């Protein structure tokens, strides 16, 4: 059996040159202009906090992070800004097993799948091109035009296995 080539996304991210969100902010400004929306202080702070995140955040997570920087920021603004970030192509929404929407970076952050520990919630992001190819082939077989896909593997991580929490 040929060895499995797994791209470890956290390693990949470490290798990326940090742009400190400069490009993303330009993308956001241009999207706002395109749809006739206005720039605002709150949207700045929310985007900035969102870009700091290394993993997915819920609207509520991001609300608390943004609010700790500026207590005047309300939940609805975070909620509505996340929708804008999605439209601008900066964020991607994923719904995991608990039914809560979470958002992760989409701009120059490649699609990946998740491995989640059901005991401690540790998350590993990975990418396997063979799986992507097979998904494409399934969609083609059924004559679907595939837009996106979600794959989550649930299990017990090595740490929890050791400490008998699993």
Partner DNA sequence: GTTAATGCAAAACTTTTGCAAATTG
Partner DNA sequence: CAATTTGCAAAAGTTTTGCATTAAC
Residue 132 Cβ, how far from DNA at the closest point, in Å? 27
Please tell me whether residue 143 binds DNA under the rule CB under 7 A. Answer: no
25-54: which residues touch DNA (CB under 7 A)?
32, 36-43
- Which of residues 76, 101, 121, 163 is near a copy of itself by CB under 8 A? 101
Q: Edge-to-edge strands of the sheet including 113-117? A: 7-8, 123-127, 113-117
Question: 90-105 burial string, b = 16+ CB within 10 Å, else e?
Answer: bbbbeebeeeeebbbb
Site map (CB under 7 A) of DNA, residues 89-128, x = contact: ----------xxx---------------------------
State phi, psi for 104 to the nearest 5 degrees: -135, 165
Regarding 58 and contact with DNA (CB under 7 A), the answer is yes
Stretch that binds DNA, among 9-17, 72-80, 105-113, 153-161 (CB under 7 A): 72-80
b or e along 16-42 (b: 16 or more beta carbons within 10 Å of the residue's beta carbon)?
eeeeebeebbebbeebbeeeeeeeeeb
Name which of a copy of itself, DNA, none residue 80 binds, using a CB cut-off of 5 to 8 Å depending on partner kind.
DNA
Residues 139, 146: Cα–Cα separation, whole Å: 6
User: How far apart are the C-alpha atoms of 140 and 134, rounded to whole Å?
Assistant: 10
Among 15, 17, 147, 164, binds a copy of itself (CB under 8 A): 147
Choose among a copy of itself, DNA, none what residue 23 binds, the Cβ cut-off being 5 to 8 Å by kind.
Answer: none
Binding residue for DNA (CB under 7 A) from 23, 74, 108, 150?
A: 74
Distance in angstroms (rounded) separating the CA atoms of residues 108 and 125: 15
Q: Given the rule CB under 7 A, which residues bind DNA?
A: 32, 36-43, 58-60, 72-77, 79-81, 99-101
């Amino acid at each position: 059996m040929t060895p499995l080539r797994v791209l470890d996304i956290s390693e990949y991210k470490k290798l990326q040159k940090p742009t400190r969100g400069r490009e993303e902010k330009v993308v956001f400004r241009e999207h706002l202009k395109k749809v006739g929306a206005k720039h605002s202080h709150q949207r700045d702070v929310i985007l900035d906090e969102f870009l700091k995140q290394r993993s997915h955040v819920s609207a509520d997570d991001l609300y608390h992070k943004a609010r700790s920087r500026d207590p005047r920021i309300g939940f609805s603004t975070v909620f509505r800004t996340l929708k804008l970030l999605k439209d601008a192509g900066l964020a991607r929404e994923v719904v995991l097993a608990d039914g809560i929407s979470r958002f992760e970076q989409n701009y120059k952050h490649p699609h990946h799948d998740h491995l989640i520990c059901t005991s401690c919630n540790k998350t590993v992001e990975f990418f396997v091109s063979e799986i992507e190819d097979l998904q494409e082939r399934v969609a083609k077989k059924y004559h679907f035009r595939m837009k996106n896909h979600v794959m989550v593997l649930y299990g017990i991580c090595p740490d929890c296995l050791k400490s008998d929490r699993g």
